Amino acid sequence: MNRPELILPTRAARLRKLLTSPETSFIMEAHNGLSARIVEEAGFQGIWGSGLTISSQFGVRDNNEASWTQIIELLEFMSDASSLPILLDGDTGYGNFNNLRRLVRKLEQRGIAGVCIEDKQFPKTNSFIDSERQQLADVDEFCGKIKAGKDTQSDPDFNIVARVEALIAGWGMSEALSRAEAYRRAGADAILIHSKRSKPDEILQFAKEWAGRSPLVIVPTKYYSTPTEVFRRAGINLVIWANHLLRAAIPAMQAAAREVFETQTLVGIEERVATVNEIFRLQGADEYSEAERIYATPNAARAVVLAASRGDNLDALTEDRPKVMLPVAGEPLLLRMVKAFRKQGMNDITVVAGYKAQAIDVAGVNLVVNPDYDCSGELASLSCAIDRFGDDTVVSYGDLLFRRYILRDLLDTDADLTVVVDSTQTAPDAPCDLAYADLPDERGIFGRDVSLRRVAHCTAPQDGSARPSGRWIGMLRVRGAGRDKLLAALEHLRKQPDFARLGMPELLNAIIDAGHRIKVLYVHGHWLDVNDHASLQQASDFAHAESSYGSRK
């Protein structure tokens, strides 16, 4: 059966609904992209693009000092930053009927839901400044403008609201009513009746005599103390809160500026201003990071580094930091690893910390913390980073140093699960994970696929009579379907009562037991891990030997 497609109403249609619905609706002023987003987050269903607040955020007066194209440009930011319908306060339409035609076309092109035009002369003055001196437009000329706008709109739901300024200019109620009627007949979708009085009496009288002939819009800036219920009972369709976000921001900015100027420090205001992260959130910075991952470095693998352990054998050296932060030839082990990843274009690096997590100070990595690091093992740490896995992820112990080609060759493999095994270490003297593969690393196997059969700690009972094929260096690449295989094995092991103690070898074995293949990439030395004082010294020699000729002292 064909399902009818869900068609979302356009912004113009949504504004039309707010205007025509018998329930009283409310829209809030915005004057840039940020405030538009804030209006939407607060729950409003529409935005008033206020001439007063837009001009004042530009630092100019509400006298058409900003050009109409500058306003359109700003509106585009507002329209991008929010999905709400915007009703532009279009002043007088910025000229005659022809200017309005062009304005309507440009507004529709930018997804603006409607425009309100007022029956004054261009250039206008704000209704609350010297209102008695304000010139009203000729009624016929204004009706022609409304008709021109309505004939121009291509979306039948685009809204033209006619604003009656007769009460503002002191021309009286009957003039206001007759103008409103003329504008309605000319095709206006709604009438905005404006008042400068502190009581709503003339608005209420107008509403009574208007008697619902077309939708009615008000701006209760001056008669703000009127209970909203009064507007509801009067049958007002749309109430505009016209300038209050800008007015809320002004005293906050003034106080902050004064305080920082006087005290010459930020300490007094830091807790009272929005966090920088809140700015990022409002800008949608998360979406950018996600998109960057998809589009900017689409093929780059991610890294998950397990770095929760202290490194007990290193005694006092790890009293105030985890092993991965120990300097090796002047640079923390972890920073060396992060640089190695970045050299391969891997910039999405997650480090799972635990012991002295606060001492991990490497810029640009995602830090997650295993809070139970002291009573749990590698799989508990890995679980903390599981949502950081991408389509291609290298999981690594954090205490490794390795030659660049090892990571490069690992990234060149095509299997969905690959481990790096050092075939020169079949009987190591330090504790380690031994790997058993289906083929030993011999010259004859060049070019053949080798699979892992098992990984076992060297102190565990060994795999029958078989000789280990080498040592797993603690690096695993997980691609494509490999991620689901790994996740399934992790879930399976999570059910075991001893899950908290399990490490990466148990995970690799569980993947193999589930019938999946793990490819072996053999290497021959050229790496080491740091477990004790002796290996820390070797690491330093290794790092020095790696540094370029020019940088050696």
> Which are the catalytic amino acids?
62
Closest alpha carbon to 515 in 440, 462, 433, 451: 451
C-alpha pair distances (Å), 146 with each of 88, 143, 187, 266, 403 = 15, 5, 7, 52, 74
Q: Which is nearer to Mg ion, 89 or 189 (CB)?
A: 89
Look-up of token digits 């504008």? 183
CB neighbours of 346 closer than 8 A, spacing ≥ 6?
A: 300, 301, 302, 303, 394
- Least separation in angstroms between residue 269's CB and ligand SPV is 30
Look-up of token digits 């270490």? 425
Number of residues that bind ligand SPV (CB under 6 A): 10
Q: Which is nearer to Mg ion, 194 or 479 (CB)?
A: 194
Among 40, 89, 189, 348, binds ligand SPV (CB under 6 A): 89
Q: Which is nearer to ligand SPV, 52 or 325 (CB)?
A: 52
- Least separation in angstroms between residue 106's CB and ligand SPV is 19
Q: Are 524 and 421 in contact (CB under 8 A)?
A: no
Q: Are 214 and 237 in contact (CB under 8 A)?
A: no
- Least separation in angstroms between residue 194's CB and Mg ion is 9
- Least separation in angstroms between residue 199's CB and ligand SPV is 16
- Least separation in angstroms between residue 52's CB and ligand SPV is 3
Q: Of Mg ion, ligand SPV, none, which one sits near residue 469, judging by CB under 5 to 8 A according to partner kind?
A: none
DSSP result, 63-122: TT-S-HHHHHHHHHHHHHH--S-EEEE-TT-SSSHHHHHHHHHHHHHTT--EEEEESBPS
Q: Which is nearer to Mg ion, 51 or 474 (CB)?
A: 51
Q: Which two tokens stand for residue 483?
A: 């991620």
Q: Which is nearer to ligand SPV, 120 or 454 (CB)?
A: 120
Strand partners, 356: 354
- Least separation in angstroms between residue 182's CB and ligand SPV is 21
- Which residues from 206-225 bind ligand SPV, rule CB under 6 A? 219, 221
Asked if residue 35 binds ligand SPV (CB under 6 A), the reply is: no
Q: Of Mg ion, ligand SPV, none, which one sits near residue 127, judging by CB under 5 to 8 A according to partner kind?
A: ligand SPV
Asked if residue 243 binds ligand SPV (CB under 6 A), the reply is: yes
- Alpha carbons 28 and 32: distance in angstroms, whole number: 12
Q: Of Mg ion, ligand SPV, none, which one sits near residue 219, judging by CB under 5 to 8 A according to partner kind?
A: ligand SPV
- Which residues from 45-74 bind ligand SPV, rule CB under 6 A? 50-52
Please compute, for residue 266, the number of CA atoms within 13 A of its CA located in the half-sphere on the CB side: 5
CA-based angle 22:28:32, to the nearest 5? 145
- Which residues from 120-139 bind ligand SPV, rule CB under 6 A? 126-127
Residues forming contacts to Mg ion in the complex (CB under 5 A) are: 51, 89
Asked if residue 195 binds ligand SPV (CB under 6 A), the reply is: no
- Alpha carbons 90 and 71: distance in angstroms, whole number: 9
**Phi/psi of residue 114, nearest 5 degrees:** 180, 170
For ligand SPV, the binding residues (CB under 6 A) are 50-52, 89, 126-127, 219, 221, 242-243
